[in-house]
Amino acid sequence: MKIAAAQFAPTADVRDNLARAEALAEDAAAAGVGLLVLPEESMVQTGLVTGSLAPVADDHWAEFSDGLRAIAARHRIALIASGLEPSGTPRPFNTILAVDSDGALSGSYRKLHLYDAFSYQESGRVQPGDELPPVVQLGGVHVGLVNCYDLRFPELTRSLVDAGAEVIAVTAAWMTGRNKEDHWSTLLRARAIESTTWVVASGNSAPDCVAGSKIIDPMGIVVADAGEPEVGWCAAEVSGDRTAQVRRVLPALANRRIDLAYTVRPKIFIKAAVNGGRETAETPLVPLTPAEIAAEAAASVRAGADVIHAHARTANGGQTIAPEHIAAMVRAVREEDPTIVVGTTTGLWTCADHADRMAKIEAWEAEWLPDFASVAFCEEGAAEAAQAVLARGMVLESAVWSMDDVPALLASPTLHDNVRVLIEPLAEDPDQAVRDCREMAAALRAGGVTAPLLYHGLEGTTWPVVRAAIADGVEVRVGIEDVVSSEDGAIASNSIQVAEALRIYAELHATTA
């Protein structure tokens, strides 16, 4: 079959984009092309849409889907293109549609790997899919679907080849940047070489994307390249005979010794805040000693937590950031499991004043430094404390508790050094706490924050805020520091709370699948 990869720069107008796609399809069909791969965001260029993408998806997904099917049937050419599919939440799916030459929908794929890299946060506006991409049949050829950032995950492409894909179709809006064009070309060839399969890649040609649509044969040879024009396409005869020839010479798939089972894990980042300032009178499950904290940290990670936040405690149970107590806690966690990522507070309430806080941070033992430390920007000297955390070689996360804190964080010289920004609403009413989270999140994004955001509530707002965080695609915090019970009110350990967050994730995603 003759297959083509096209490129164009979509606009914010869905009808205009369909017209552009049809012009390319008509041209390719006239040249004998049987399958045309169109770029990511063919439905709408998301960078041209302000605010939530959900209204665009809700209003235009059916129009886009029906339009692709009509174009395919009219010109007797199979099409692959991506757009915004409603999810029932403020974040739609980034979905590839595969349409056969008779206009029938052969399959679809909701993008698994969202582009949360290079200071970009796709998950802030898009919901990830939960299923492996399918292999669809178009014109008698088995085609696997890959969407942009997926290209960096070779196991995804290998899953498609193992499922029978003869061709890997990549639809992308590969962003420009240092080394990015080289990554695009290298990764496309690598996916072809390692799986000895054809790769047909369509690149969005918007000003911030590299374009460079290509067709690569199973030996990794670029046999067609559309180059840099804003509108164009390249084509090649994709032959099963060539695949068989390459696999006789290079039987890499047959030579494999490792069996793989492909599953999709939940896309949720969970921080377990294992103790805070809780006392045993509030819950007997709160860990206080270094050994107890280490055991809870390990249990929480086994349950699914990504990182641990813990407060060192004195012999009488008080919170402290004194060097000897921080060292004892970190050492205990590392001896329990050296792979655990553990952080702590720099809260002023643990010190006499800001000067005392600075002295203590500077005195933390280099051998037993936490992996990260949190700084609340509602406190005096927050910017200086944040600089001290970085100067000591730790990872920084900053926190805002209300809209009043946002300007101080945005003005901080460490703003772009944060691994994440915590949003911790003070409201006791759950609905208000969720509204406050979203207001602060919008202000932070408008102010230029590109780091991941994390919501967490306190007491009665904890679980409603967890649900909002999952719905909004931001990071989640649970644990005894925030609440002592699971969502149903039963006293719960940190590990049970982590499992509860994963259950809520599965529940919410089951309702939008």
- Reported as type and span, the H/E element at residue 189 is helix 180-195
Going from the C-alpha of 178 to that of each of 46, 122, 182, 243, 415, the distances in angstroms are 22, 19, 9, 34, 22
All residues at 6 or more sequence positions from 248 whose CB lies less than 8 Å from its CB, including other chains: none
User: How many other CB atoms are there within 10 angstroms of residue 55's CB atom?
Assistant: 14
Buried b or exposed e, range 168-177, using 16+ CB within 10 angstroms: bbbbbbbbee
271 flagged as catalytic: no
Is residue 243 within 8 Å of 218, Cβ to Cβ?
Answer: yes
Residue 324 and residue 360 in contact, taking contact as beta carbons nearer than 8 Å: no
Question: Angle 54-75/14-30 helices, nearest 10 degrees?
Answer: 20
**CA–CA distances in Å: residue 411 to residues 389, 403, 457, 482:** 17, 14, 25, 28
Alpha carbon 158 to chain centroid distance? Answer: 21
Distance CA(454)–CA(445), nearest Å, equals 13
CA distances from 188 to 115, 151, 230 (A): 17, 7, 20
Angle at 206 between CA 204 and CA 207, to 5 degrees: 140
- Phi and psi, residue 109, nearest 5°: -150, 125
Catalytic residue among 22, 40, 85, 379: 40
Among 22, 85, 122, 148, the one annotated catalytic: 148
In the chain, how many H helices and how many E strands? 13, 20
Cα–Cα distance for residue pair 453/83, rounded to 1 Å: 25
Give the C-alpha separation, 373 to 457, whole Å.
Answer: 19
**Cβ neighbours for 236, distance < 8 A, ≥ 6 positions apart:** 2, 3, 215, 217, 223, 224
Contacts of 46 (CB under 8 A, 6+ apart): 53, 84, 125, 126
Distances (CA, A) of 498 to 55, 264, 268, 287, 477: 32, 18, 11, 16, 9
Both structure tokens of 494:
């940190």
Judged by DSSP in three states, 239 sits in coil
Candidates 22, 41, 85, 111; catalytic one:
111
Instruction: For residue 453, list its beta bridge partners.
Output: 421
What residue type is 236 in one-letter code? A
User: Catalytic residues, which ones?
Assistant: 40, 111, 148
